[in-house]
Structure 1
Amino acid sequence: MKITLVTLAFVFATPCLAQVVVPTRTVRADAIITEMDVMIGNGSNDDGFDLLRDVIGQEAKVVLYAGRPILVDQIGPPAIVDRNQIVSLFFEGRGLRIATEARALERGGVGDNIRVMNLSSRATLFGQVQPDGTIQIKQ
C-alpha cells in the first residue's frame, strides 16, 4: 500500500466535523429558544454546544442564524430584569444591610452583573441579579 503526498494532504487538510446545535431558523435576540428552533447539525465545535438540552430554554443574546453553530457566548439564562425596571437593591457586609430601590439600566438574567441607578442618590452601581429579581451589590 502506497501513501501519496496528495492523500496525506487531503487527510490533514479536511477539518474535523462534529455534532453541534444549530438553529433551524433565524432566532431574534432576546427570544427564548424552543425545541422547534434548534437541531443537531454538522460543524466545528470549538465554542459551541453538542446537546440540545443545553440550549433549549435559554435566551438568545444576539441574532442566531439558521445553520450556524450556536456559540457559548451567544445565549444565556432568560432575563428576569428588564431595562428601566424598578428593582430592589441591597448591600450586605460587616453587619450592615442597606436596602433601597433602583432603576435597571440593562436587561439581565440570574447571575448576570448589570448596571443600576440608585433612585435616592442617582449613583450608578453594578450588581448581580438574584433568583428573586433583586439586585445584590458586592464589594
Structure 2
Amino acid sequence: MNKILGLLLAVFLLLPMSASEGAKVVVAPTAQLPQVILREALIQQATIGIEDYLQTGGETRRHTIESINVPAGLRLPDGRITYRVTLPNGVRFSKGTLVNVDVLLNGRKYTTMRCLMRVRAYDMMVVANKQLVQGTEITAQDLRIDEREYKGENWTYFTDVKQVLGKVARRGIGQGEIITSINIQNAVIIHSGDLIDLTAVVNGIRVTTQGKAMENGREGDYIKVKNLASNKVVRGKVIDKNNVEISVR
C-alpha cells in the first residue's frame, strides 16, 4: 500500500503546474528518496539554458523570461545531481518555448523535466508619430522611436528613422504602429513616359542609350522600357530616378 501511495505521489509531483499551483506544493524528502529538486530549481535551469541559447545566437535585445508551465518538483535517491538543458525548438519569442531539463544522477540521466517558458524580446523601434494615410511620403515629423516588443513576426522593423525617410505608406498606418517592411514601400521614382538612361553590360563593356519608361517603377522594380535607338521594348531594373539597367545574356 505504501509503495502504491509513493508511486501516486511521484506521478503527482511530475505533473505540470501553474505558478500559483506550484507555490502551494511543498515537496519534502522521504527515506527512500532523500533528495528534492524544487520547481524553482527547474525554472532556474530552464532560464540558464535560454540565456545560453540567446547569447550563443548573438541576441542583444532586452528580454524577459517567465515560466508558463513547470513541474512542481522531483524526489531522487542519493547521488550527485547535475543538469543538461536543451531547447528542441529553439526560442519562440512571445509564445511558449519548450525547455527540456535532463536531471542526471551520478552522471547518468535519471529523467527529463519539460518546462514551458515564455521569452519576450524588446527593441527600440521606429513607430508612426501620427496616423498616416496610404501613399503618404514619410518625413521625420511622421516618426518617433519607442521601445516595443518583438513577437517573432515575419517582417523587418527599423531602428533608425533614416531607414524610413522617403518611403511611402503601403496602406493606412495608425498612430503608434510599428513601421515595418510590410506597411511601407519605396516611392515611385520613375513614371511612365519618363526619359531615362538605359544601360547594359555587353562583353564586359557598359553600353548606355536613351530609353523611355513604359510604366511606373520604384527602386529595385523591373519595368518595361522602350529602347529609343531600336524601338524594342525590354525589361530592366530601376537603379535610380534616371537609370534603368537591363541584363544581356
Please list the CA deviations of residues 83-111 of structure 1 after superposition, one character each: whole Å capped at 9, or x if unmatched.
442323232312473623222412223xx
Q: Which structure's relative contact order is higher, taking Cα pairs within 8 Å and 6+ residues apart?
A: 1
The 3 A distance-change label for structure 1 pair 81 and 53 is same
- Cα distance, 1:72 vs. partner? 2.8
- Cα distance, 1:48 vs. partner? 0.7
Number of residue pairs aligned between Structure 1 and Structure 2: 131
Correspondences of 1:33-72 after superposition (within 5 Å): 33-41=138-146, 42-44=148-150, 46=152, 47-55=156-164, 57-60=165-168, 62-66=170-174, 67-72=176-181
Aligned to 1:117: 225
Aligned to 2:72: none
Aligned to 1:105: 215
Larger radius of gyration: 2
Correspondences of 1:1-139 after superposition (within 5 Å): 5-6=18-19, 8-9=67-68, 12-13=117-118, 15-41=120-146, 42-44=148-150, 46=152, 47-55=156-164, 57-60=165-168, 62-66=170-174, 67-75=176-184, 77-94=186-203, 95=205, 97=207, 99-109=209-219, 112-118=220-226, 120-121=231-232, 123=233, 125-131=234-240, 133-139=242-248
**Contact map agreement 2:188 2:216 (CA 8 A) in 1:** no
- Cα distance, 1:117 vs. partner? 3.0
- Cα distance, 1:53 vs. partner? 2.9
Q: Please report the TM-score for the alignment, with normalisation by the length of structure 2.
A: 0.43
The 3 A distance-change label for structure 1 pair 50 and 98 is closer
Q: Distance in 2 between matches of 1:51 and 1:6?
A: 39
Q: Helix, strand or coil for the counterpart of 1:92?
A: strand
Matched letter for residue 68 of structure 2:
A
Q: Helix, strand or coil for the counterpart of 1:130?
A: strand
Q: Distance in 2 between matches of 1:54 and 1:97?
A: 32
More strand by share: 2
Q: Helix, strand or coil for the counterpart of 1:53?
A: helix
Q: Please report the TM-score for the alignment, with normalisation by the length of structure 1.
A: 0.69
Please list the CA deviations of residues 21-47 of structure 1 after superposition, one character each: whole Å capped at 9, or x if unmatched.
111223244433212101123232752
The 3 A distance-change label for structure 1 pair 60 and 43 is farther
**Contact map agreement 1:82 1:108 (CA 8 A) in 2:** no
Give ranges in structure 2 of 5+ residues lacking alignment: 1-16, 21-66, 70-115
Identity %: 13
**Contact map agreement 1:87 1:104 (CA 8 A) in 2:** no
Give ranges in structure 1 of 5+ residues lacking alignment: none
- Cα distance, 1:15 vs. partner? 3.9
Please list the CA deviations of residues 110-129 of structure 1 after superposition, one character each: whole Å capped at 9, or x if unmatched.
xx1321231512x2x33223
**Contact map agreement 2:190 2:213 (CA 8 A) in 1:** no
Matched letter for residue 210 of structure 2:
T
More helix by share: 2
The 3 A distance-change label for structure 1 pair 68 and 16 is same
**Contact map agreement 1:30 1:59 (CA 8 A) in 2:** no
